[in-house]
Amino acid sequence: MWYLALKAALSGIIIAVVSEVAKRYPGFGALIASLPLVSVLGMMWLWHDRPDAGNMAAHAEGTFWFVLPSLPMFLLIPALLRHGVAFWTALVAGCLLTILLYSVMVWLGPRFGLKL
């Protein structure tokens, strides 16, 4: 139970740090947010729970392929905001685009030999 609480607290601290830094320094906040901290922590916790090289390799590779369809969201949201679209609408549109692209990746990936 303590292990789960530690993981949740550390994850929450990272989100809080990013949002606080981004208030003062948007570029630096973006840099911190773009770091694969969650992925690295997830891999560390996964390794702690199940130290299996094959499983870890599959996880890391899957993470790479799922990052790709999430990237367009970070172009759509600022474009919509700069054209006067409300924040929440832009955020929902970005999330919907990401869900659509994840679905395409899940459907298309295996056809190209990706094990997702």
Q: What's the pLDDT tens digit per position in 84-101?
A: 999 999 999 999 999 999
Is residue 34 situated within a structural domain?
Answer: no
* 29 in Cβ contact with 5 (< 8 Å): no
- C-alpha distance across the termini of the chain, in Å: 30
What is the residue range of 98's domain? 53-116
Predicted structure pTM score: 0.81
Cβ atoms < 10 Å from Cβ of 90: 20
Is residue 48 situated within a structural domain?
Answer: no
Is residue 21 situated within a structural domain?
Answer: no
The Cα 103–Cα 107 span in angstroms is 6
Q: Specify the 3-state DSSP secondary structure of 86.
A: coil
Is residue 86 situated within a structural domain?
Answer: yes
Alpha helices in the chain (DSSP H): 2-24, 26-34, 37-49, 53-67, 73-82, 87-108
pLDDT band, residue 51 (cuts 50/70/90): very high
Is residue 15 situated within a structural domain?
Answer: no
Is residue 111 situated within a structural domain?
Answer: yes
Q: What is the count of structural domains for the chain?
A: 1
Q: Is the pLDDT of residue 32 over 90?
A: no
Is residue 29 situated within a structural domain?
Answer: no
Q: Is the pLDDT of residue 58 over 90?
A: yes
Q: Which amino acid is at 16?
A: A
Considering only CA atoms, which of 37, 84, 89 is closest in space to residue 63?
Answer: 37
Q: Is the pLDDT of residue 35 over 90?
A: no
Is residue 30 situated within a structural domain?
Answer: no
